Amino acid sequence: MATTTTRERIVAAAVEMTTSSGWAAVTMARLADAAGVSRQTVYNEVGSKPALAETMILEELARFLQVVEQAFDAEPDDLTRAIERAVTDVLTYARANKLLHAVVSATHGADTELLPLLTTNAGSLLGAAKDVISARVAPYAPGIDVAHLDPAIDMVVRVVLSHVMQPSGSPEKTAADIAWLAGQALRG
C-alpha cells in the first residue's frame, strides 16, 4: 500500500474542500485542520493559496494526461483512432470530474480565482499537454512537415480543452469530429 505524504494529504484536502464548498472556503487554517497538520506545515508544503491552486490544477492535469497515454497505448497502429480514443476518454473523464466542475461552475467572488488557471493563464497546462501529445504522435510518423506539426498539435489541444470547459455534444461525437480534423491536418 502506498504511503500518502503530508503534501498529498494537504492537496487532497484542498480538492475535497473545493469540490464540496468552493475555492473561497479553502483557507490555510481549515486546510491545516482537515489535513491534521499545522498552518505552517501547509505553507511549507504547498506555499501560498495561489501556489496550492496551481498544484491542484497541475495534478489534475496529470490524471487527464494518463487518460491520454492509455488511449494512445490502446491504438498503437492508427494515429487518427488514437486521437479519437484519447479525446473520447478525456471528455468522458471530464464529465465526471468534480474538481473541474467546481472550477468551471464558479461564477462569483473569490471562486473565480481558479478559472484563469484553465483559461487565460493556462500556459503550463497547455505546455504539458502539448509535450505529451507531441511525444505520443511522433512514433506514428505523421505526414505533416515539422514546421506545421507543433501548430497542429496546439490546435488539437486547445480545441479539446475548449470542449472540456464547455461541452457541445457527446464525447464520442466530439471526438470523432476532432479526430477527423486532426487526421486531415496530420496527413499534411
Identify the band that residue 6 occupies on the pLDDT scale cut at 50, 70 and 90: very high
Distance in angstroms (rounded) separating the CA atoms of residues 186 and 143: 6
The CATH homologous superfamily to which domain 1-47 belongs is Homeodomain-like (1.10.10.60)
Is this prediction's pTM over 0.75?
yes
**What percent of the chain stands above pLDDT 70?**
89
Compare 108 and 65 and report the one with higher pLDDT: 65
Cβ 24 vs Cβ 109: under 8 Å:
yes
What is the tens place of the pLDDT at every residue in 30-44?
999 999 999 999 999
Task: Say which CATH class 50-187 falls into.
Answer: mainly alpha
What is the tens place of the pLDDT at every residue in 47-105?
998 889 888 888 888 999 999 999 999 999 999 999 999 999 999 999 999 888 777 76
Residue 31 is predicted with a pLDDT of 94
Q: Where in the chain is the domain with CATH 1.10.10.60?
A: 1-47
Q: What residue type is assigned to position 79 of the chain?
A: L
Q: Where in the chain is the domain with CATH 1.10.357?
A: 50-187
**What percent of the chain stands above pLDDT 90?**
59
Residue 140 is predicted with a pLDDT of 92
Burial class (CB in 10 A: 0-12, 13-18, 19+), 154: middle
Sign of CA dihedral 159, 91, 4, 53: positive
Distance in angstroms (rounded) separating the CA atoms of residues 37 and 43: 10
